[in-house]
A and B are shown apart, each in its own frame.
Chain A
């Protein structure tokens, strides 16, 4: 209980510092910070429409965040969310285009599976490179992000382009309207809320069960906590690193597939960058996961918070002409603050209760969970 209070307190403090910085920025940009934040809050959480847009923005963040939790728990840093989302989107799109006549009951599970497969492959590569060739996953995932984006540009400008774009000569790099059978069912037509949110919630719960209630999860977390001890206990460290990255990639790939089939245009479009497709969810998902203390269930409220910030930022741009890029900058600061306080959080949480201090007089026990 005490540990939860410390963790929650530090997370809240991080956001407060970032929001204070945001307030200074708003002042500098000539907007009133109080009305600015009020505008954001009302837009994101003040109405059914707002809540619905927040939920839609939260879907990719939640899925990527859950993926990040799985990887980080095994002590693998997955910065490849962007590329994994792109590959997931591409795999799912290709499957949908290949099966234009299939009924929804067949097509829907297939595209979700295809998305997961695409992301899983793109996650397994850096996992295998780390496990077997000792290549830093941080670098290989970043490089694979670049490869995925160029692959998307190539496919959407060439093989997968809407034939109509070529006829009209406009050549906008996008696919044709994907089969209607693959549209994600709507939960509410008027609010524009699709069932992707249910899939994301389910994924978060399953990830929790996987990590804390199954043998696979136990092994992943053991590898993350202490690889030498895990190896000594007979756990295959290399294999578990690959599993962690594959699962993490699958979550991001699923997010990519949902982005395509839950989009209003029901096409996959590129503007040449990964940001144009993912809205930087591959990076923002890291913020969400860290803010949710790398716990899949805490990722759920965390993703709603950050989804709400994105929705709020858009309305701030309309109302107060403050560019929504402010939120990307604030997200960056939140990441920095959360990881800066991490070491001190662990120290606070692991401090033995008062009575025992005499026994651990040297202070050497600070690193041991009591």
Chain B
């Protein structure tokens, strides 16, 4: 059995783990931005589904993968605007309204797919883009520098998000609004504007995550995400609301997925054991949540609508 696990297999597994982590990473980076400003978006899974569908449909019709990427982002922006209106001026309970968005995305993506496409036709996928020089490195090159563009986009967004949140005026406003909207408001920061912006960015990234998933799989079907969006939300807690932490969580989940997949392909584990293995991410998440809940504090104004006192 041990001769099945060769260096090639290990390299391939790690590379596929990075690929599988990509949609998680995009969605949870977006969710993290929203949560830093005090807004919980439980609808990520629904936004991902709609983003995945529109991206799939556009690619199917136009044959251009980048158009599909843009379609995913636009879908996210439209739903983001809707969710922002519901959350900010209308002050809906965020623990529940997000479930409404999820159900809407789940039903709508399925409905549109059945009506507009019907039979699942495969779409074009991105070719791998080998980073010049780096991709020729032994082992490391194959693991990290021979991926599709979506993978690079997702991982490059990690330092970008970290920089914006920690080192820019906008990021300072986001954190202020998430921790103490009253103080931010008294200093002239518009709580509504900041939250509208973060919700739109967050949903755009969720739409992009859906697009990444559809392009990676080259297909769309009912409930394509299978609760990935919900795991992405948990990954934000996992990563203690910080971009590098979120990345670590996404990679861990991607790797678990890749290892299970690889073990199944190699016939190392029977089908029944893979059902048990599929529980692992959820159980690990719960255990991590227990640790995180007592070590890190969530943004103080998370899920609390802001009402200006008189």
**Chain A contacts to B: CB under 8 angstroms:** 25, 29, 77, 79, 129, 133-136, 138-140, 142-147, 150-151, 153-154, 157-158, 273, 275, 280, 283-284, 286-287, 290, 323, 325-336, 339-344, 362-363
Nearest chain B residue, comparing its CB with the CB of A321: B115
Q: Could you tell me how many residues of chain B have their Cβ less than 8 Å away from some Cβ of chain A? A: 51
Partner of B230 from the list A142, A284, A330, A333 (CB cut-off 8 Å) is: A142
Interface residue B99 (Cβ < 8 Å from any Cβ of A) = yes
Give the residues from 212 to 248 in chain B that come closer than 8 angstroms, CB to CB, to chain A: 222-223, 226-227, 230-231, 233-234, 237
Q: B: which residues have CB within 8 A of A?
A: 40, 42, 46, 86, 90-93, 95-97, 99-108, 110-111, 114-115, 222-223, 226-227, 230-231, 233-234, 237, 271-272, 275-276, 278-279, 281-283, 285-286, 289-290, 293-294, 305, 310
Contact of A323 among B115, B286, B293 (CB under 8 A): B115
Q: Are B101 and A145 within 8 A (Cβ)?
A: no
A286 touches B283 (CB 8 A): no
Q: Which residues from B are CB-within-8-Å of A147? A: 279, 282-283
B100 close to A333 (CB less than 8 A)? yes
Residue of B nearest to A334 (CB): B100
The distance in angstroms between the C-alpha atoms of A79 and B95, with both chains bound, is: 9
B residues in contact with A146, CB < 8 Å: 227, 230-231, 278-279, 281-282
Cβ 8 A contact of B96, one of A153, A328, A330, A335:
A335
A interface SS class? helix
Q: In the bound complex, do residue B294 and residue A77 qualify as a contact, i.e. CB atoms below 8 Å apart?
A: no
| CA–CA, A331 and B66, complex, Å | 33
When the two chains form their complex, are residues A340 and B111 in contact, meaning their CB atoms are under 8 A apart? no
- Contact pick for B107, options A290, A330, A340, A341, CB 8 Å: A330
Q: Please give the distance in Å from B133's CB to the nearest CB on chain A.
A: 41
Are the C-beta atoms of A145 and B286 separated by less than 8 Å? no
Q: A133-B293, A140-B286 are in contact. Are A342 and B92 (CB under 8 A)?
A: yes
Distance, CA A340 to CA B89, complexed state (A):
9
B111's contact among A138, A157, A323, by CB below 8 Å, is which? A323
Chain A CB within 10 Å — which of B99, B226, B283, B289 has the most?
A: B99
Give which listed residue, B91, B226, B234, contacts A143 with CB less than 8 A: B234
CA distance A280 to B223 in the complex (A): 12
What CA separation (Å) do A332 and B102 show in the bound complex? 7
Provide the residues of chain A in CB contact with B281, threshold 8 Å. 146
Q: In the assembled complex, which residues on chain A have CB atoms less than 8 Å from the CB atom of B115? A: 29, 323
CA distance A12 to B107 in the complex (A): 22
Instruction: Find out whether the CB atom of A325 lies under 8 angstroms from the CB atom of B234.
Output: no
How far is B285's CA from A290's CA once the two chains are assembled, in angstroms? Answer: 29
Whether the pair A135, B289 counts as a contact (CB closer than 8 A) is yes
Partner of A340, one of B97, B226, B278: B97
Nearest A-chain residue to B90, judged by Cβ: A340
CB contact between A142 and one of B96, B111, B234, B275 (< 8 Å): that residue: B234
Alpha-carbon gap, A140 to B292, bound state (A): 13
Chain A residues near B108: list those with CB within 8 A.
325, 329, 332
* Alpha-carbon gap, A290 to B102, bound state (A): 16
A332, B103: Cβ atoms closer than 8 Å: yes
In the complex, the answer to whether B310 meets A332 with C-beta atoms within 8 Å is no
| Beta-carbon contact of A143 and B104 below 8 Å | no
With A325-B111, A343-B305 already in contact, the answer to whether A135 and B105 are too (CB < 8 A) is no
Nearest CB on B from A186, distance (A): 32
Do the beta carbons of A157 and B275 come within 8 Å of each other? yes
In the complex, A342→B94 CA distance in Å?
12
Name B307's closest neighbour in chain A (CB-CB). A343
Within 8 Å by CB of B223, from A142, A275, A334, lies A275
Query: Is the pair A143, B285 in contact by a Cβ cutoff of 8 Å?
Result: yes
Please measure, in the bound complex, the distance between the C-alpha atom of A48 and the C-alpha atom of B310, giving whole angstroms: 57
